[in-house]
Amino acid sequence: MRYDYLIVGAGFSGAVLAERIANVLKKTVLVIDKREHIAGNAYDFTDRSGILVHKYGPHIFHTNSKEVFDYLSCFTDWVKYEHKVKVCYRGVKYPFPVNINTLNMLYGLNIETEKEVKEYFEGVKRIIEHPSNSEEIVLSRFGKELYKIFFEKFTEKSWFAHPKKLSASVCGRIKPRYSTDDRYFTDRFQYMPAKGYTKMFAEMLRSPRIKVLLNTDFKNLPARIKFGKTVFTGPIDLYFDYKYGKLPYRSQIQEIKTVKKEFFQENAVVNYAGNEKYTRITEFKHFYPVISTLTIIGMEYPKRKGEEFYPVLNPLSSLVFNKYKRLANEQRDVLFTGRLANYKYYNMDQVVAKSLKEFSGIS
């Protein structure tokens, strides 16, 4: 019952490092996860209707990194999928991120060129030299009216905090589009794993040197299990028993419903920017089309408490995290990595790239 490595968490960070350590370094790995399944928040399953459902909300793979795409291609085939999102505002669904089509629909304009749309944004945006929060960064790109329509309410109900109280990075990922391209992502590689994320993870962890224990809490690991080094991908404050207090996170639940119609909405994800309690509705059938008279939707509700999904980044939480980070840097034979351990939001490809880079320093 002794392993060279203990890896806490069977999400992307844990699975990539487990696969590399086992198959390249030829060392034994025990992967544990408190949940009853592998794949972390990317976990998916096939409903009895034949529709593949993302349990924790939509996960869309996209990357510009050929290295990341080639690595994951060792464990899955792919199906092409380009994600499109609409925002429902006062009953009308607008393309998002804001682009030429959005402005023309919203204001009855006839913008046609990149020059015209740039001139529009130049005319409405606020001049803020160094945006310090999410409100300021959106105002500096989109102006007040578009901020009010697409960002303010949606962000506040998602994070239980006004955008001015959130780090600029929270809303800073969204930028204006100067074309009619209404794809949510513009990356070179945009695909979905052909048989879903869970099957891809199973292939990554398919090694005689890897043992996976589910429903296993790191804090209650049986004493009989011995290991050398540790890769910790869980919440960093949990590792240190909340010595400096609990880091704030935004949680969520997804209410999954079967609807007796062929399709519920015209694209996979619709965000709701008004007073609705839910923030978005996902229709999973758009990811992997199947012939069915039924469809399945996921209605996403933000929660103040619950499982840790998104770090609430603000000046106070950054100060607390830096205290934990100093403790982490003092730990020998423990690597803290991933979204929860690094208290940072990562896209899936960023987690994979980071894990591959960190593996290069492991022996």
Sorted by where each starts, the structural domains of the chain and their CATH numbers stand as 2-38+205-248+312-359 (3.40.50.720), 99-171 (no CATH)
Q: What is the percent of the chain where pLDDT is above 70?
A: 100
pTM of the model: 0.95
What H or E segment, with its residue span, contains residue 16? helix 12-23
Query: Which residue is listed with tokens 């040197």?
Result: 209
Confidence of residue 123 (pLDDT cuts 50, 70, 90): very high
What is the per-residue pLDDT across 52-71, written as a single tens digit (0 to 9) for each?
Answer: 999 999 999 999 999 999 99
Contact (Cβ atoms closer than 8 angstroms) between residue 5 and residue 21: yes
Is residue 1 predicted with pLDDT exceeding 90? no
Q: What pLDDT is stored for residue 253 in this prediction?
A: 97
Is residue 363 predicted with pLDDT exceeding 80? no
Which has the closest alpha carbon to 248: 172, 303, 299, 300? 303
| Strand residue runs (E) in the chain | 2-8, 29-32, 44-46, 52-54, 61-63, 78-80, 85-89, 92-96, 189-193, 210-213, 226-232, 249-259, 269-272, 280-283, 295-303, 310-311, 334-336
What is the per-residue pLDDT across 145-181, written as a single tens digit (0 to 9) for each?
Answer: 999 999 999 999 999 999 999 999 999 999 999 999 9
Cis peptide bond prior to 97, omega within 30° of 0: yes
Hey, what amino acid is at 261? K
Name the average pLDDT for the chain.
Answer: 97
* CA 164 to the chain's CA centroid: 22
**How far is the CA of 28 from the CAs of 181, 209, 215, in angstroms?**
47, 5, 20
> Mean pLDDT across the stretch 330-357?
97
Three-state SS string over 256-277 comes to EEEECCCCCCCCCEEEECCCCC
Contact (Cβ atoms closer than 8 angstroms) between residue 236 and residue 336: yes
